[in-house]
Amino acid sequence: MDDRTFDISQIKVPAIPSKSFGTGVIALLIVGGLLSTFYQIQPEEVGIVLRFGRYVRTTEPGLRAKLPLLETVIKVPVQRQLKHEFGFRTVEAGTRSRFSERQFADEAVMLTGDLNVAVVEWIVQYRVSEPENYLFKVRNLDDTFRAMNEAIMREVVGDRTVTEVLTVGRQDIETRVQQQLQVLAGQYEMGITVEQVVLQDVNPPDPVKPSWDEVNQAQQQRDRLINEARAEYNAIIPRARGEAEQAILQAEGYALDRVNRAEGDAARFSSVYEAYRQAPDVTRRRLYLETMQRVLPKVGGKLFLAEDANGVVPLFSLDTLRQTVGSSAPIPGGDR
Amino acid sequence: MNPKTVTQLFGLVLILVVLSSATYQVHETNQVIITQFGQPIGDAKTEPGLHFKVPFIQKTNYFEKRFLEWDGSPNQVPTKDKRFIWVDTYARWRIVDPLRFFERLRDERGAQSRLDDILDGETRNSVARYDLIELVRSNNRNPDDVLVESEEEAAILEGIEMGRGQIAAEILATSAQRTADFGIELLDLRLKRINYVEEVQQDVFARMIAERQRIAEEFRSEGEGEAARIAGERDLELLRIQSEAYRAAEELRGVADGAATAVYGDAYNSDPDFYAFTKSMETYEETMDSTTMFILGTDNELLKYLEQPR
């Protein structure tokens, strides 16, 4: 491709026949010849050499030579990863990429298998693996490749529901499209290897989007309600369990208390009874009198009646009697 | 500049001109037909490299040897189930018989317009014969693999007979018959884009929105239902815990009361009368206080000495 200089210098030969100029022309011829003989192949490229338009050899990176005039070289970047974008274009590559989507929406809008609509953006990364096929088998390879991409992506998406496309099916779609693209690229003898298909933004169409968000919201709302109910459950039930245990322990305490006391009472009674049996009559009297001794001083009103004085009783008004008891005046003969 | 040199130079230029007219290059991507006064001479030269011809009177006509693209323009077509859609197809073709191609179509421009006629027409014919689902889908889905979240998605389970690929193959087959005569080989035809026309699209969107709202409602109601169930479970659990505790506690108390009663019975049974006596004494002591009114006869054990010391 770079052997133009030679032609020009050759045409100029008959113009001015001067000896010194002739030397100059010869020098130009030599330089031109060298330039059209040697060429450089960059590390990521290979050179395809054509002689009279016929492919003769492939050259590896480095400084290479060819026949001037007769041979031309086409450089193909076989190591470079090439990329196509669908549904958007990266306007400004680099650390922060900016994307424009508007005018490429047609590429991304497609029908899903349940006859709904999804907007699928993706990129495809590929490499030239057979440079001869890449150069000589397909005209407008890029356009062809883009058309293939669109057709296959729609074919794969056309077998899936809109939910699958938007959520769980992404990975599956990527690998299937990649495989089918590779097969088709082979059929078309394009000489490229499809390395990766990566789905970018996959969305429901704009007018439908809010309702999809609403579903997400509703889902979160559902989870929140359930979590709140669980929280309330957890706030109440463990406390109730503790309280139940407390009630049972208290009952156990009561039982212990009751039995111990009964046994204590019984033991005391038995001991007293043992002693009592030794002298029942006198002990009984003693117990009675001692009790009276303790009880009577505490009692507020006392009325002692002789055996034959029963007739007097109705004359007393109980109320008066109470009042008398209430007043602090001691009754002669009474113990207060 | 002397005349001899001029003559020599003139001769050189003449030779170069003749040579360049007598030779031609066939590139890897080309094939060439030689014409003489417009008449094709011999077969097409498809072998790349340097070739010779009769200078000046024979002309070279270059044709592509590579696969060529044909990109259809979107067609608005109704499907068999009366849905209006845009169908956009692409095809690959190549010139296999340049001589015939040259005779029939002259050049690529002619070929493209014939392909437009044939492929667009066949596409319309085929699309109109099938339901939309047949054009969108390629395979039948196994109902076990696919999660159908809503009614609108149930269409995924509808069976198809042909599918996108086979319909495209059918279009290709019928078109290929019609293009064979032009020295053209049609290699592949695919449905590139299928989209609803605007009005249909609005309906589809409305349906999608309604469906999503239904699903959202379902989620909300599911949440409320589940929360209510958990609340019920909570109430049940609470009552169960409390009543079980009550039962256990009362059982314990009952057993203890029984045991105590047995112990008392055992002890007091040895002399019920003495028990009654001692218990009465205790009770007197506990119950009598300053508000108690006591009326005692002197025949009482305690007071009998009050009147009669002896």
How far apart are alpha carbons A237 and B239 in whole angstroms?
10
Cβ separation A139–B231 shorter than 8 A: no
pLDDT tens for residues A68-103?
888 889 999 999 999 999 988 887 666 555 566 667
Of A207, A221, A244, which has the smallest distance from its Cβ to B223's Cβ? A221
Q: Which residues pair with A124 in a beta bridge?
A: A84, A197
> Which runs of E-coded beta strand occur in chain B?
23-26, 30-36, 39-45, 49-52, 58-64, 68-71, 75-78, 84-95, 184-196, 293-297
Cβ atoms A226, B223 nearer than 8 A: yes
**Residue of chain B with shortest Cα separation from A250:** B249
User: How much is the pLDDT for B1?
Assistant: 58
Q: Report residue A318 as tokens.
A: 């109980």
pLDDT at A334 over 50: no
**Which residue, among A115, A223, A224, would best test binding to B if mutated, counting the most B CBs under 10 Å from its CB?**
A115
User: How much is the pLDDT for A100?
Assistant: 66
pLDDT tens for residues B161-182?
888 989 999 999 999 988 888 9
How far apart are alpha carbons A20 and A306 in whole angstroms?
180
Q: Which fold has domain B68-196?
A: Tetrahydropterin Synthase; Chain A (3.30.479)
pLDDT at B71 over 60: yes
Strands B75-78 and B84-95: antiparallel
Summary mean pLDDT of chain A: 83
Provide, rounded to the nearest whole percent, the portion of chain B with pLDDT above 90: 41
Euclidean distance between the first and final Cα of chain A, in Å? Answer: 143
Cβ separation B204–A116 shorter than 8 A: yes
Kindly state the helix (H) or strand (E) to which residue A197 belongs, with its residue range. Answer: strand A192-203
Q: Mean pLDDT throughout A33-60?
A: 89
Residue type, A88: F
Residue boundaries of the structural domains of chain B: 3-64, 68-196
Q: Residue A229: its chain B contacts at CB < 8 A?
A: 226-228, 230-231, 234
Q: Mean pLDDT throughout B273-292?
A: 84
Q: Tell me the pLDDT band of A332, cut-offs 50, 70 and 90.
A: very low
Q: Residue A117: its chain B contacts at CB < 8 A?
A: 195-196, 201, 204-205, 208
3-class DSSP assignment, residue A147? helix
- Phi/psi of residue B67, each to 5°? -70, 135
pTM, full prediction: 0.70
Summary mean pLDDT of chain B: 88
Q: How many CB pairs under 8 A join A and B?
A: 354
